[in-house]
Structure 1
Amino acid sequence: MALDATAPSSTGDGGAEAVRPLLSAAEAEELDAMYAPYARCDAYGTMGRGALPFLRQAELALRAILLVPLRFVLGMLLLVTYYLVCRVCTLFVDGVAEGRPRLQGWRRVAVVWSGRGLARAVLFVFGFYWIRETDRSSPNAEDVHQGQSEEWEKPGAIVSNHVSYVDILYHMSVSFPSFVAKESVSRLPLVGLISKCLGCIFVQRESKASDSKGVSGAVTERVQEVCQDKNSSMMLLFPEGTTTNGDYLLPFKTGAFLARVPVQPVILRYPYTMFSPAWDSIDGARHVFLLLCQIVNYIEVVRLPVYYPSDQEKEDPKLYASNVRKLIATEGNLILSNLGLAEKRVYHEALNGNSRAIHQKDD
């Protein structure tokens, strides 16, 4: 497959635009077919850089002028407001420096309820005015394995497909869970303290050190803690390990299932006409811009019954993960794919003109 990485273009006033590869229609179609879980199918095309008719360009420009500044300012105000709540609630509290403030009493109540309300407010500002939810979370008696102990009635983790960073806002607005995040998130302005108040487990994804046991152990310990402590927030885990375009389901990692406790499966879908909120092959800044330009965005949520593992699944986390994955794929009408984060990176490199990435992957 030939990719042209030397495709500079200029604006009308002589300013240079970002350099990006030129793909023929056949090459783009072949590449998207190979990496279908990450291919964008909306009106903006691959990487969100597809050509638009003149009227669409004019409409986008008008929305950019009217919607983006207003939504950005309102979103930042909500973020700063929540940061201030977290700052006040963590004053004179132990554990902030270590990444998990020990919040109790009114501090915990304020952080949780203001977080849920402000997260929903951010979704509203971003155009998610209505969220269609289907709740199937009450299992039938025959769905619960015999011998199920009362101590495991509460699920230890929410297991969800991963489509966009918007997923986290939705889950925050409903159940306010803690989740696994990159270690760098803990150092971000505003967001860093908020993520600590959420009780995030911070990991170094790019680290070459053999610390996967430590991460898995931390997740397992937290999930078991949730089952034993009614006041602990559930863990939110995305077993795929990365985002897709929303039509596929990647292989599940076993971290969410090592604790051998029940999980709460949740399915997220983002119906769209012009712009897909999926964060697949598009850069972050462009994605946020186009999301804010969309007048209305949609989320559809299906909350499945709590999944209680059988004795066999408790002894085999891979089997447990596989069975939950099949359930989510079936109930969500999602296509199972064997691709993962490594293939996603190869696809992104190819889109940016590195044809050698494809051949290196094949080798």
Structure 2
Amino acid sequence: MVMVSAMASELNSLTGANGIHEDTVSVSPERGAKLKDEQPLLKSDPPAASPTAESIEELERKYAPYVRRDAYGTMGRGEIPATEKVMLGIAAVTLVPIRLVLGMLILVIYYLICRICTLFSAPHEEDGQEDYAHMGGWRREVVVRCGRFCSRAMLFTFGFYWIKETHRSIGNEDGCRDQADESERPGAVVSNHISYVDILYHMSSSFPSFVAKRSVAKLPLVGLISKCLGCVYVQRESKSSDFKGVSGVVTERIQEAHENKLCPMMLLFPEGTTTNGDYLLPFKSGAFLAKVPVLPVILRYPFCRFSPSWDSISGVRHVFLLLCQFVNHIEVIWLPVYYPSEQEKEDPKLYANNVRKLMATEGNLTLSDIGLAEKRIYHAVLNGNSLPRALHQKDD
């Protein structure tokens, strides 16, 4: 269930499907997002002078993939008209409490289902990873079916009543060349990354596994659910190489999913962080090291007032404004399975770049050459932090 690991990991300074370092598998928003609006997104020196209007315009041109362009303005703190304030007030005392209660109820119900299905069943353990994704029979069937249903119920609760899905056929062009066996199963779902809602959608559609911070496994309710999802856990604090590493584990899981239809596919966000949905950042090659087919998926969030994209807005503010919207929208484009050529199999960076170009073309997305480091600088400047300090954080 997406919301499970997404909300808990991304809103509690956890990386629900967060990116791993360069040349490893990248999945989700920048690490360590702060919960409180009062806290800057980056720790830094005492605040400097606020950016001027001219500098803000320059920043928006330079860091366009992270710029919010909805009714709430930069970081969701812009001036809003009186009518919007009235609507927010009404939603805050009606929609938000109802949605929070329903969301928690769905979470608890799914946890109980997972608890029942895992009774007297030992988890699969390998290289320090523990999960129930390898569980078979009726138990796995119940976990998957109920997980997909609960994920869709959670989306409905948050106002995503309708989801427009398009399955696109490309033909024998760049994305489908040298296909020896088109019946081969993809080992991973490769998606652009806009919000923690992305994970919730993917759980409702294909129920894949993803990468999460190791702390998620110890959280109440969420911990067991993440194990049923088959999450691959990241120990960010540890620099040791006692095990084969997350990249190696994920690569093996992708290959396993490719060879065995009973194993869940991996969900990977190769950009390594979220954007405003109009751009596609460079792909890290970790998602393509397994040399197996991948399934590209493009997500869009059309909006009128509030953009569901998590680009330059705090977690708490984002969740609150999202829950205040009476209706939210998702548009999804499913591309055909991408079968790598022999040259792409030997060159993961080429494989990643070709998939990225295909997704940009089919999704009408603009290619950008900036990444998470630039996003941190942009956030630091917006928060009034000194640029030298932000530049220092770039290499953290």
- TM-score, normalising length from structure 1? 0.89
Could you tell me how far apart the structure 1 residues matched to 2:301 and 2:292 are? 29
Residue in 2 that maps onto 1:185: 216
Q: 1:132 aligns with which of 148, 159, 164?
A: 164
Helix, strand or coil at the partner of 1:353? coil
Q: 1:317 aligns with which of 334, 343, 348?
A: 348
Aligned length in residues: 345
Is the 8 Å Cα contact of residues 96 and 196 (structure 1) preserved in structure 2? no
Residue in 2 that maps onto 1:11: none
2:131 counterpart of 1:103? no
Task: Between 20-29 and 238-247, report the one with greater CA deviation.
Answer: 20-29
2:114 counterpart of 1:86? yes
Residue in 2 that maps onto 1:67: 95
Helix, strand or coil at the partner of 2:299? strand
Residue in 2 that maps onto 1:37: 65
2:359 counterpart of 1:331? no
Q: 1:255 aligns with which of 286, 295, 308?
A: 286
> Greater CA radius of gyration, 1 or 2?
1
Q: Residue 48 and residue 206 in structure 1: after superposition, are their counterparts in 2 closer, same or farther (change >3 A)? A: farther
Higher-RCO chain (CA-CA 8 Å, sequence separation at least 6)? 2
Q: Residue 93 and residue 361 in structure 1: after superposition, are their counterparts in 2 closer, same or farther (change >3 A)? A: closer
Could you tell me how far apart the structure 2 residues matched to 1:165 and 1:244 are? 11
Could you tell me how far apart the structure 2 residues matched to 1:65 and 1:88 are? 35
Residue in 2 that maps onto 1:271: 302
Is the 8 Å Cα contact of residues 139 and 306 (structure 1) preserved in structure 2? no
Q: Residue 46 and residue 213 in structure 1: after superposition, are their counterparts in 2 closer, same or farther (change >3 A)? A: farther
Is the 8 Å Cα contact of residues 70 and 307 (structure 2) preserved in structure 1? yes
Q: 1:344 aligns with which of 349, 369, 375?
A: 375
Report the CA distance between 1:23 and its aligned residue.
3.5
Residue in 2 that maps onto 1:120: 152
Letter in 2 for 1:185: V
Could you tell me how far apart the structure 2 residues matched to 1:51 and 1:212 are? 50
Could you tell me how far apart the structure 2 residues matched to 1:253 and 1:240 are? 6
Residue in 2 that maps onto 1:157: 188
Task: Between 56-65 and 343-352, report the one with greater CA deviation.
Answer: 343-352
Task: Between 185-194 and 241-250, report the one with greater CA deviation.
Answer: 185-194
Q: 1:294 aligns with which of 321, 325, 336?
A: 325
Report the CA distance between 1:163 and its aligned residue.
0.4
Report the CA distance between 1:197 and its aligned residue.
0.4
Residue in 2 that maps onto 1:9: none
User: CA offsets per residue over residues 100-148 of structure 1, 9 Å max, x none?
Assistant: 1242211101100000001000000100000000012x66466644461
User: CA offsets per residue over residues 140-169 of structure 1, 9 Å max, x none?
Assistant: 46664446146x611110000000000011
Aligned pairs for 1:189-204 within 5 A: 189-204=220-235
Helix, strand or coil at the partner of 2:210? strand
Helix, strand or coil at the partner of 1:178? coil
User: CA offsets per residue over residues 189-223 of structure 1, 9 Å max, x none?
Assistant: 22221111000111134654568962111111001
Please, which runs of 5 or more residues in structure 1 have no aligned partner? 1-16
Letter in 2 for 1:283: S
Report the CA distance between 1:359 and its aligned residue.
5.4
- TM-score, normalising length from structure 2? 0.82
What do you get for the CA RMSD once the two structures are aligned? 2.3
Report the CA distance between 1:184 and its aligned residue.
2.1
Percent identity, aligned pairs only? 66
Q: Residue 147 and residue 41 in structure 1: after superposition, are their counterparts in 2 closer, same or farther (change >3 A)? A: closer
Please, which runs of 5 or more residues in structure 2 have no aligned partner? 1-36, 41-46
